[in-house]
Amino acid sequence: MPVTCVFGAQWGDEGKGKVVDFLAARAAYVVRYQGGANAGHTIRRGEEKFALRMTPSGVLQNATGVIANGVAVDVGVLLSEIEFLESKGIPASRRIVVSDRAHLVLPFHPLLDQALDASRDETWKIGTTGRGVSTTIGDKHLYEGFRVADLLSPTVRRTRLPYLLERGRQRLEAMGAPSFDTAAALAEAEVWATRLAPMVRDTAWLLQEAAEAGRTILLEGAQAALLDVDFGTYPFCTTSNTGVAGACAGTGLPPRALDRVLAVAKAYCTRVGRGPFPTEDEGAVGATLRERGREFGTVTGRPRRCGWFDAVAARHVCRFNGVDAVAITKIDVLVGIDPLRVCVAYEADGRKVESFPADIDLLQRCRPVYEELPGFTEPLGAARRPSDLPARAREYVTFLERRIGARVELLSVGPERTETVALKAT
Ligand code: GDP
């Protein structure tokens, strides 16, 4: 399928990086369309581990990595990742293209992001990663943003940037927050402009032409659908539309150009930070999932909250994204857990709740209704074909398919690219 959108179907860390890396072997372009350096993707290649925050995963293959207009670009992070990849023999600066319409994270954005979250009262603290993505995207909508094209224009850079930096400094001062060195920021912007210029393109045009020519394009979502600013657990969410809507707005590709939508979900659920999580298990099962699944944040190192698969949330996500297929990852982590539970409905105030509620207080009160399935004990890491899978693992997957209303086409049984089972044609 020429244009495929791949995004996380839960609260993040589903293993999107691995799935994109697996699919990227066939892609000409791998595109980041929202988020920023607040999203870590981990890709393992043999003994080597790449933790990327700005760089599209596909650059480890031969694909061109596009940082499209919807991304909040942290130039410092991007340039250091490029240096790191080049030190490993991957010609990253030749493989990365950056949109001229993308907004830049300015030095005050992370400081403001941290100060804002610190100033919120306990109930409404978001627990942001403090990378300045929310404040960058917020400023974009307040007409206070600074784009790559602005950086590259000497006139705009030398007039608008000092003005915006001064306004940022004033906002920090008003909040009593730590500040930054304006002169150093202006000098750094000159360096950024020189280093970034060769990579900058009108990526909307580039991708539209590539799609029309039938080139294979992978659109890689960051964060995840339950953190979507409209359909996630607002305000405990991210600042973008993380699925197909974000893929169109964040690239300039029209909805008609998307041939296939692939949602990535773990065989269980995790969540980082605050916010409702109906199937969270704070007992032994949660601890086992955390240890076995190594559920600690790539960027922050924070332990992730863990629990059972939530089919109510997954069905909601598949519907609002028009999902064609699902990739289930980390099913190997479930080996030996018996019985397995899947949440098939919620209950609150003595009533059944079938759809995913917008009311955050109601969602906090929702108790999961579980169905139990027999667990499997055979290790899955060596499975490469559907017939290699134990019958009970296949039954678990079939059960998920029925409950979420979408086909599971890929099963990931380990972190390596080869540890993948294609269940249907992908
Ligand atoms: P992403 O942001 O969605 O790409 O997810 P993360 O990188 O935060 O988390 C995925 C982690 O799980 C990485 O360390 C992967 O190497 C690892 N991983 C991915 N798929 C599998 C799998 O099927 N089994 C196991 N055990 N680990 C996996």
**349-354: average pLDDT:** 91
The pLDDT of residue 26 is 85
**In the chain, domain spans:** 3-99+200-262, 103-197, 265-422
CA of 230 to the centre of ligand 1 (A): 26
Q: Which CATH class is domain 103-197?
A: mainly alpha
* Cβ(304) – ligand 1 distance below 6 Å: no
Give dist(CA 167, CA 164) in Å, integer: 5
First to last CA, the chain: 8
Which of 257, 205, 324, 322 has the alpha carbon at shortest distance from 3? Answer: 257
Domain topology for 3-99+200-262: Adenylosuccinate Synthetase; Chain A, domain 1 (3.40.440)
Atom 17 of ligand 1: nearest residue by CA position: 415
Report whether pLDDT(237) > 70. Answer: yes
* Cβ(329) – ligand 1 distance below 6 Å: yes
* Cβ(298) – ligand 1 distance below 6 Å: yes
Neighbours of 106 (CB within 10 A): 26
**83-104: average pLDDT:** 94
Domain topology for 265-422: Adenylosuccinate Synthetase; Chain A, domain 3 (3.90.170)
* Cβ(332) – ligand 1 distance below 6 Å: yes
CA of 295 to the centre of ligand 1 (A): 9
* Cβ(302) – ligand 1 distance below 6 Å: no
Question: Among this protein's residues, is 41 annotated catalytic?
Answer: yes
Tokens 């380990």 belong to 414
Residues 6+ apart with CB under 8 A from 249: 70, 241
Question: Among this protein's residues, is 141 annotated catalytic?
Answer: no
- Model confidence at 330, pLDDT cuts 50, 70, 90, reads very high
Report whether pLDDT(426) > 60. Answer: no
Cβ-contact 252, 219 below 8 angstroms: no
Best residue among 295, 328, 330 to mutate for probing ligand 1, ranked by most atoms within 8 Å of CB:
330
**Ligand 1 atom closest to residue 224's alpha carbon, by position in its atom list:** 3
Report whether pLDDT(154) > 60. Answer: yes
Chain mean pLDDT for the chain: 94
